[in-house]
Amino acid sequence: MNVVLVGFMASGKTAVGRRVARRLGYTFLDTDHLIEDEIGITIAQLFEEQGEAAFRRLESAVADKLCELENHVISTGGGILTQPGNLERLKLAGLVVFLNADLEEIIERLQRDTRRPLVQGGGLREKVTALLTERLPVYQQSDVIIDTKGKSVNKVAGDVIHSLVERL
């Protein structure tokens, strides 16, 4: 069984995913890193040179392959569920867990971000609010929803493991 973490940028998917993987003895994977390894440039460069649509195509292709894995914890990019079919692809791959982070915590963490193309250039609060409002309905179709507000990485990791164990 795999665990697939979804949620907004800076919601803790990578930190929590690494912790869950370590505690379960599973392998950690990050879809953004898989894409960067494949194309040999950063996601920011890809957005700049070929646009968001090119990134989304690669991301959906990666989502399609995840069902071949076993005992992995997979952290996904925050926009993966915006593409039709990806929720179903991720559910085929494993237990889809939405890390539901607080808006203010997200904004705080993204304040100094320089690598995520969708939140550069000012107007951070407006950008995050608009994207989150658009994406929440699809995040909420995940198998499990974990509210992360005020919780440590360790606590959220424990909640993820608990949800997984309940379903084994």
Among 78, 81, 90, 95, binds ligand S3P (CB under 6 A): 78
Taking Cα atoms as reference points, which of 57, 84, 79 lies closest to residue 134? 79
Toward ligand S3P, which CB reaches closer, 125 or 162? 125
For 30, half-sphere exposure in the C-beta direction (CA atoms, 13 angstrom radius) is: 16
State in angstroms the smallest separation of the CB of 15 from ligand S3P. Answer: 11
Using the minimum distance from each CB to ligand S3P, give the nearer residue, 104 or 113.
113
Beta strands in 15-101 (DSSP E): 27-30, 72-75, 95-100
DSSP one-letter code for 83 = S
In the complex, the smallest distance separating the C-beta of residue 165 from ligand S3P, rounded to whole angstroms, is 26
Mapping DSSP to helix (H, G, I), strand (E, B) and coil, where does residue 4 land? strand
**53 Cα distance to chain centroid:** 18
| Site membership for ligand S3P, residue 9 (CB under 6 A) | yes
Sign of CA dihedral 52, 75, 89, 141: negative
Binding residue for ligand S3P, selected from 116, 127, 151, 155, defined by CB under 6 A: 116
Among 2, 46, 66, 77, binds ligand S3P (CB under 6 A): 77
The site for ligand S3P, by CB under 6 A, has a size of 9
List of residues contacting ligand S3P (CB under 6 A)? 9, 32, 43, 77-79, 116-118
